[in-house]
């Protein structure tokens, strides 16, 4: 079967004359063409390959053999036999290796050529993956979801030849779409890790601000940590809260496997979040009133007045944001 999504040459006619079933797909994009082909395929085993003369289809029996041996998804590794000019240097040495490294590091899927368009899988595997990407990033989505769902992914050596015709791949646009997909499917790395690090850094910075009220001497400069503390804490807590919310959503959608870490999720009910958020806001308001009445009463400036003011605003902003994110998380359950 050949999927034609907007070709302007005679390739569809040539394919039809040679016995192929040609399926039209009006939506542009690599992923759109594949998704249409997957929907039209009715076999127990599905093999996909780009129709640009780059793949040696004699590897098809080896792909199917791995599936018969128990694999859910099998990829043909182009690097095992890549011709010298088959791929641009930037794609060959930077783009594909970087995306493959990210997929191995973030998802643990052990493949050397994550962007190969020559792969085979079972119809059961395809149904469980529930693929959605319309562009080149579908190759990464397939691997990320297979890893999350605990599927067996194998790789066989293959060749990669010089293509026939002009490539529609756009290095930076398609590279960004891959990166965006990988990160959005990995809330722990995108939100939680940076959020926790920033929160801890903010607490340390606040401690320095209170301990060194006059500032910290760095050479001939004087750094006042009171300004950095709120930024680190608020951004860190926001990122952490969003990470927990997105992780909960991904678990409900089957995109992330629950771990021991997610046992703490039961403590993050809307009611508990609102209780803590309200307490933080009220504490911030109380500190602001304390500073205000000292000022109105004509008292001497508090030794750590700016630090207390910064702490008050941090509590108010962080508490308000936490409450709003709590409602956002609860909306996933309705």
Q: What kind of fold does domain 43-176 have according to CATH? A: Spore Coat Polysaccharide Biosynthesis Protein SpsA; Chain A (3.90.550)
pLDDT tens for each residue of 192-226: 899 999 999 999 998 988 888 777 777 777 778 88
Cβ neighbours around 241 below 10 Å, total = 25
Average pLDDT, the chain: 87
Average pLDDT estimate for 299-325: 89
pLDDT tens for each residue of 147-163: 888 899 999 999 988 87
The Cα–Cα gap between 242 and 191 comes to 7
Q: How far is CA 9 from the centre of its chain?
A: 37
- Residue 332 is predicted with a pLDDT of 65
Where exactly are the structural domains of the chain? 1-42, 43-176, 187-331
Average pLDDT estimate for 48-61: 88
The Cα–Cα gap between 308 and 226 comes to 9
| Confidence band for 165, pLDDT divided at 50, 70 and 90 | low
281 phi/psi in degrees, rounded to 5: -65, -45
Cβ neighbours around 212 below 10 Å, total = 16
The Cα–Cα gap between 92 and 162 comes to 13
Q: What's the pTM?
A: 0.72
Residue 327 has pLDDT above 90, yes or no: no
């Amino acid at each position: 079967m050949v999927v034609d999504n907007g070709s302007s040459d005679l390739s569809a006619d040539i394919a039809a004359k040679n016995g192929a079933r040609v399926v039209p797909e009006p939506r542009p994009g690599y992923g759109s063409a594949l998704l249409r082909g997957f929907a039209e395929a009715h076999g127990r085993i599905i093999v996909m390959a780009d129709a640009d003369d780059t793949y040696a289809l004699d590897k098809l029996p080896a792909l199917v053999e791995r599936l018969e041996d128990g694999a859910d998804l099998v990829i043909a590794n182009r690097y095992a036999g890549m011709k010298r000019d088959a791929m641009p240097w930037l794609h060959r040495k930077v783009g594909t290796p970087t995306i493959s490294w990210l997929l191995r590091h973030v998802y643990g899927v052990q493949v050397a050529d994550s962007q190969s368009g020559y792969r085979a899988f079972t119809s059961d595997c395809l149904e469980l993956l529930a693929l959605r990407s319309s562009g080149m990033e579908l190759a990464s989505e397939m691997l990320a979801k297979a890893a999350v769902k605990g599927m067996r992914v194998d790789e066989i050596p293959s060749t990669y030849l010089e293509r026939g015709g002009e490539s529609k791949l756009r290095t930076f646009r398609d590279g960004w779409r891959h990166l965006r997909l990988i990160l959005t499917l990995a809330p722990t790395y995108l939100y939680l890790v940076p959020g926790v690090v920033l929160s801890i850094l903010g607490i340390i910075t606040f401690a320095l601000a209170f301990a060194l009220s006059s500032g910290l001497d760095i050479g001939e400069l004087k750094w006042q940590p009171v300004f950095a503390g709120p930024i680190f804490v608020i951004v860190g807590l926001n990122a952490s809260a969003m990470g927990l919310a997105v992780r909960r959503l991904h678990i409900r959608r089957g995109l992330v496997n629950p771990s021991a870490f997610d046992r703490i999720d039961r403590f993050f009910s809307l009611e508990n979040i609102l209780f803590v958020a309200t307490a933080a806001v009220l504490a911030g308001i109380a500190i602001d009133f304390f500073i205000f009445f000292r000022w109105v009463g004509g008292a001497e400036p508090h030794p750590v007045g700016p630090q207390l003011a910064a702490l008050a605003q941090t509590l108010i902003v962080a508490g308000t944001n936490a409450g709003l994110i709590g409602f956002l998380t609860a909306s996933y359950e309705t």
